Structure 1
Amino acid sequence: TYVVAIDDIIRKHLRALFSDKPTTKAYAFKITRDAELHLNDELAGSLTSRMEKQLAKRDFGLATRFLYDAEMPDPMLKKLISNFKLQDATTVEGGRYHNLKDLISFPLKNEKFSYPVQKPTTINTGKDGSVFNMINDQDIMLHTPYHNYDLVLRFFNEAAIDPSVEKINITLYRIANDSGIAQALITAARNGKKVIVMVELKARFDEANNIRWAKKMKEAGVDIYYSNTKLKVHAKVALVRKRVEGKVKSYGLLSTGNFNESTARFYTDHILFTADQKILQDVQTVFTILTTRKNPLEVKKVQFQKLIVAPFNIRDRFFELIDREIANAAKGEKAGITIKQCFAGRPTG
């Protein structure tokens, strides 16, 4: 088996491409541009149309990084920086080949290159197969990818067809291209249920997919809300309200990861299924704030019973918890802090 990079095929035939000029060597370079979309609430037009216009401009954003072949002659390097106006970009010396992430999709057929297949554990839903009956009995914690994500899909599919379900609220940050969850929400709306979806259009590099699904859901009768342009809704929560024996009861999902069955196969996340009404009252408060589209920093102080919600109480509560462990350690008691995080922000001073 032989593997040849397209880069090398092009290099081999440069003379055919540039027959009128003597060509002996070629060097690869890569420019990374600012992907941030700058939106303003005061601008006219719908948020989706403005977002689509901004997406069309993304390839022409400000250059932030310039990666080049270390063998490139200095005069050529300076000429590229000048021609592409890269004076303010970070220049990074690299190798002969770029975009090595493409190797992820390399078709390796030999088993020795792969880890043994590990099938996720499936949680038994009981004799009647109802997710909601399971949650009634006790909270359930799902750990993906070690647990099968089907339980999440069943939660939404069951809500879509259960006659006692009256209302579904959910936040969507990054959803699958062929989202079974979005399809369940569409089914629920067509079945006469009130479905309210908070779509975060500013999920970087997933904006177009989110817009596509938002339009599909809206056409099906789903109430679509978009976050304030000054606010990014990173929460992944869902709330289902059922009428049980004449009384309204809530069921919820709170997840560290996106409601996305594709990424759930390899992202490590935790998903809580709960019928704890105090927690779900807090979730309802979150949705009330989001659907008013107010800037949380301008909202009067909100009291949460159970949840820690940014930007309302997360910093104060974390400081309280850290101080508690410091005090326990000073007294010689058991103390410790374990943190699982995706990104650490810059120091605020």
Structure 2
Amino acid sequence: MADGANTELVNSVKDDRHDIKHAIASISKGERYLNRELSWLQFNIRVLEEAQNNRHPLLERLRFLSISGDNLDEFYMVRVAGLRGQLALGVDVVSSDGLTPAMQLEKINVLAEKLLEKQQEVWALLNVEMRKAGMSVLEANELDETEQVWVKDYFFDNIMPLLTPIAVDPAHPFPFIPNLGFTIALSLKRQSDGEPMVALLPVPSHLKRFIRLPSTSSIRFISIERMIALFFDQLFPGYKIKGSGVFRVVRDSDIEIEEEAEDLVRVFESALKRRKRGRVIRLKVDADMPKHLRKIIVSRLNATDDVVVMVDGILGINETNQLIVDDNPDLIFKPYNPRYPERVKDFNGDIFKSIAAKDFVVHHPYESFEVVHLFLRQAARDPDVVAIKQTLYRAGSQSMIIGALIEAAEAGKSVTAVVELKARFDEEQNIKWARDLERAGVHVVFGSIELKTHGKVSMIVRRENGKLKSYMHFGTGNYHPITARIYTDLSFFTADQALARDANKMFNYLTGYVEPIGLEKLVLSPFDLRRHLVGLIEREIEFARDGKPAAIWVKLNSLLDSKIIDKLYEASQNGVQIDLIIRGICTLRPGLKGLSENIRVHSVIGRFLEHARICCFGNGHKLPSRHAKVYISSADWMPRNFNRRVETLVPIENPTVHDQIMGQVMAANLKDNCQTWLMDSDGNFSKREPAESDDLFSVHDYFMNNSSLSGRGSAGDGVQVAPVMAYGLDE
């Protein structure tokens, strides 16, 4: 009887789960998922909103405006270019939310136009505030006599020799305008016979867009187009100016790689040249430009009407970052100097002894990236180190990492570097690094064409007491010293030999296509990362169905994998409490009754760019809890990260590191009420406002003023630093 009852109960549970899955599958894609591209534009709207956040200093608000311009350019160069390419080829691929390329482009243009209008409104607002603060971007008629003399000398000494007026007629074909090229177009009339002429003045990209004028009493700039316009008569003597305007070209900058390419370096060098000559994806034209002149430009650039954008304001909004000066410290963020982990100091700077004593995490940018440099620099100079294995995705133009690898190879150590050539917009720099490394004797591997190596792993093999011991660094961010000062990321240092064995299998796969079988702890894509995450979500579903606490916390840059999203919907319907901290794209719809009412989506936008990927699973307990399963990762939850990239998911087992990542980093992000946006089921965001009884809490301010747990060392003994947030740990 009991066995029959148990069987009936099991079947009932199975039926319930089947019903939930069936209910989810029956909902149309458009109702289940948001559009990826529109979600990205919503993210950029949040960035732009920070330009109006009065909690930020004035010039930092200007920086957010500039970033929104850069973001939008890249979005068109890559994402919109891809959709236009599909449209041109007649490829009717439907997005996860059920839209064709044409439908997506129509919606994108509507939202992007609103974003452009908002950018100009914000620029006008900031312009007024800057003038009140003693900073001005001048019109030509605002120059005083002294400035007029200075501008004239500056123009003839520094600009005139670099300008090349180009007539547009049958004898002078329309010139090639490069990607992001900024050009002045003029309609002229020859004074001698009244003959009309159209001419172009391409502005060299290395010239500053805004030129600072000499002034001791205030900060005054003039834009280069305004300065050049003052001297049209010198550039076109004998002609009368009938009209003029500026335009800016955005070209297709995505790269397609031939599947059968044998020499990746040669292929990428060729592709980079093609990128510079890509088709016009967006043509921004000054609204004051005469109509007939605009028609000529559109025609000669082979641009279609739907890529033309009339701008009533300033073109190239991203270049306003040139106006950010440090003359007035009150107008920028107070400089922040990252802390150096005390644990490393305890061992007199010996990074290997520090790691051998205990795993620890360095929390960038609050803690110094110099620790990562030390890890490789000490390895290069340590006679007991015999091998170094390193992945390189983005390393920057002045990388100490590259220098350390070269030094190690020249010292006779075995050094392997997996250099990813497909790091978008860093391909050229990575080709240079690859050649420098090869010349030094480093074994350079480019991976495969099908997969992008996105995992951030460094492995040092050291001979100790007659045996080999490995020391590992797993990162959520790139080995890039500049971004490490503005991106929030985690650097995990460990001497866990099981993780080391797994990492070595990963490197063997990257260098020799040897599939990593029998991994002990590390989870890798493209093999089983998605499956493993689905399994962890299913465990939380089982806890919920058994009446136990069930919770998931996830922090990512982007979430848009439909299989994972459907599993999160299933978890929500079973009562699992889910908090997602998604900085950028999120195609999941939170808060829908009967589907996702137990899912909340937060987005933190502020001084630093949230970049770390973290996931916590309650494991039968409320979060935060020392019983939870905690992981850091290099991967966002996107199809490309699961299917076409080599990514890592690293379990965190050390108790102090576990508490730091979950009870500090994740809890602080969830507690923030100064920089957090909350998402509704339509994909719109509203700023999280603190309740009247709540104190203001900024996650960025908190970590700038509190030490982390795992890097403390003896100097932190007996001092309660960076306590777990108000949630409290569930023992």
**Do structure 1's residue 53 and structure 2's residue 273 form an aligned pair?**
no
In terms of mean alpha carbon deviation, does 13-22 or 58-67 score higher? Answer: 13-22
1:158-237 equivalences under 5 Å are 158-237=378-457
Counterpart Cα distance in 2 of 1:326 and 1:93: 52
- Write the distance in 2 (CA, Å) between the matches of 1:190 and 1:301: 30
CA–CA distance in structure 2, aligned partners of residues 93 and 329 of structure 1: 54
1:333–1:73 Cα change, 3 Å: farther
Return 34-43 or 202-211, whichever deviates more.
Answer: 34-43
Q: Which residue of structure 1 lines up, in the alignment, with residue 356 of structure 2? A: 136
Equivalent residue number for residue 282 of structure 2:
65
Tell me the residue number matched to 2:256.
Answer: 38
Kept in 2, the 8 Å contact 1:31–1:63? The answer is: yes
Residue 156 of structure 1 aligns with which residue?
376
Match of 1:17 among 211, 224, 235: 235
Aligned length: 343
Higher helix share: 2
* Structure 2 alignment gaps of length 5 or more: 1-217, 567-731
Change (3 A) 1:262 1:92: same
Letter in 1 for 2:311: G
Aligned match of 2:537: 322
Match for 2:552 among 328, 332, 337? 337
- Candidates 248, 252, 267, aligned match of 2:468: 248
Instruction: Quote the Cα distance in structure 2 between the aligned partners of 1:334 and 1:52.
Output: 54
Give RMSD over aligned pairs. Answer: 2.5
Q: Which amino acid aligns with 1:206?
A: D
Q: What residue is the counterpart of 1:278 in the other structure?
A: 498
Q: What displacement does 1:19 show?
A: 4.3
The equivalent of 1:87 in structure 2 is: 304
CA distance in 2, matches of 1:216, 1:59: 25
- Tell me, in whole angstroms, the C-alpha distance in 2 between the residues paired with 1:93 and 1:204: 29
Give the drift of 1:24. Answer: 4.0
Once residues 501 and 280 of structure 2 are traced to their aligned partners in structure 1, the CA distance between those partners, rounded to angstroms, is 45
What percent of counterpart residues are identical?
Answer: 33
Aligned-partner SS, 2:490 = strand
2:328 is aligned to 110
Counterpart-to-counterpart distance in 1, 2:314 and 2:525:
42
Higher relative contact order at CA 8 Å, sep ≥6: structure 1 or structure 2?
1
Contact 1:63–1:89 under 8 Å retained in 2 = no
How much has 1:265 moved relative to structure 2? 1.1
Deviations 1:98-138 (A, max 9, x none): 22222324324111111222221111212442111111111
**In structure 1, the residue corresponding to 2:437 is in which secondary structure?**
helix
* Equivalent residues of 1:64, 1:90 under 8 A apart: yes
The code of the aligned residue for 1:115 comes to F
Q: Which residue of 1 aligns with 2:521?
A: 306
SS at match of 2:520: coil
Contact 2:505–2:516, Cα closer than 8 Å, also in 1: no
Most deviating of 67-76 and 78-87:
67-76
* Equivalent pair of 2:471/2:494 in contact (CA under 8 Å): yes
Kindly state the Cα deviation for residue 63 of structure 1 after the two structures are TM-superposed.
Answer: 2.3
Any conservation in 1 of the 2:284–2:310 contact (CA below 8 Å)? yes
Q: 1:28 to 1:333 in 2, by over 3 A?
A: farther
**1:319 Cα shift?**
1.6
Q: Amino acid of the residue matched to residue 59 of structure 1?
A: K
SS at match of 2:474: strand
Kindly state the Cα deviation for residue 186 of structure 1 after the two structures are TM-superposed. Answer: 0.8
Q: Which has the larger radius of gyration?
A: 2
What corresponds to 2:189 in structure 1?
Answer: none
* Cα deviation, residue 180, structure 1: 0.8
Q: Secondary structure of the residue that 2:551 maps to in structure 1?
A: coil
CA separation of 1:88/1:25 partners in 2, compared to 1, >3 Å: closer, same or farther?
closer
Distance across 2 between alignment mates of 1:89 and 1:142: 48
Change (3 A) 1:71 1:88: closer
Q: TM-score normalised to the size of structure 1?
A: 0.89
* Alpha-carbon distance in structure 1 between the residues aligned to 2:553 and 2:308: 37
